[in-house]
Amino acid sequence: MIAFDLAAQGTALGRSLNRFCAVALLVAAAAGAGCSWGPHHPDWVIHSTVELIGAPPAGGYRLIFPYIVGDFYGAPNTGSFVVPVSRTAGGFTLDLNRTQDDLEKELGPTDFELRFMRIKPRDARLARLTPIALQRDGIEAVGRMDWLDGQSRRPLMLVYVDRPARIEGSDTRDGKTIRYDIRVANPGYVWIGATGSGGSGPGQTTLYTMVPPPRRTILTITTNR
């Protein structure tokens, strides 16, 4: 299974996560569930189950839903204004229509950490929704989180792009190539996944591109060992 390379997110995530979480909790407490008066997009309603991989966190956990603005990778840099509209014992529902106005206020210039990546037009703005699982009564992350397609188990990213745009770029190191070719036809949320060819050694190519919305969505928490 191809997983997103957490090293590509840089060391900023580790240095910034605790500071971010403290601020995000204050914002979430003040923001409430939010409300947007724009058009309703049914595909912006995300029904997901939660799957724990590893030992359950001692004392339990809670989820927050910030974004990385202007990049796919790095530390979250928005408040946690997205709140589930419903919860069950094993999952939740997000309605991203309700918080669209809040997201629009947070959007800023696109500036990719991976310098080979480009977006056209240059003034297109994006944000990746990056759930975090925290200690129930603390601000430490309890593990790594990934969106998965429930049928294929392929890791996914959920990204908002504010206008039609193309994101592209490629890099080859040690005979392995990573390519991005993401073509967004309309403003809104898109799911991005990876496909691979050429095995796992030199000559391997990993392509990140848009994929159809999963019929069943899973949010995994791989707990810290």
Name the nearest CA neighbour of 192 among 172, 212, 178: 212
Q: How many residues does the chain have?
A: 225
Question: What's residue 15's pLDDT?
Answer: 41
Q: What does the mean pLDDT of the chain come to?
A: 86
Taking only the tens place, the pLDDT of each residue in 32-64 is 445 555 689 999 999 999 999 999 998 999 999
Q: Is the pLDDT of residue 219 over 60?
A: yes
State the Cα–Cα distance between residues 215 and 1, nearest whole angstrom: 19
For strands 217-223 and 45-53, give the pairing: parallel
Residue-range definition of the domain harbouring residue 147: 6-223
**Half-sphere exposure of 111 toward its Cβ, with a 13 Å CA cutoff?**
4
Instruction: Detail the DSSP E strand segments found in the chain.
Output: 45-53, 61-64, 67-69, 86-88, 91-95, 118-120, 126-129, 132-135, 143-149, 155-161, 165-173, 176-184, 188-197, 205-211, 217-223
Q: For residue 151, is it within any domain?
A: yes
At residue 146 the predicted structure's pLDDT band, cuts being 50, 70 and 90, is very high
Give 175-184 pLDDT, tens digit per residue.
Answer: 999 999 999 9
Taking only Cα atoms into account, the Rg of the chain, rounded to an integer number of angstroms, comes to: 17
Residue 18 lies in a domain: yes
C-alpha count within 13 angstroms, C-beta hemisphere, residue 95:
15
Tell whether 1 is covered by a domain: no
In the chain, how many domains are there?
A: 1
Instruction: Please report whether residue 73 resides in a domain.
Output: yes
Question: Is 24 a domain residue?
Answer: yes
The predicted pLDDT at position 3 comes to 38
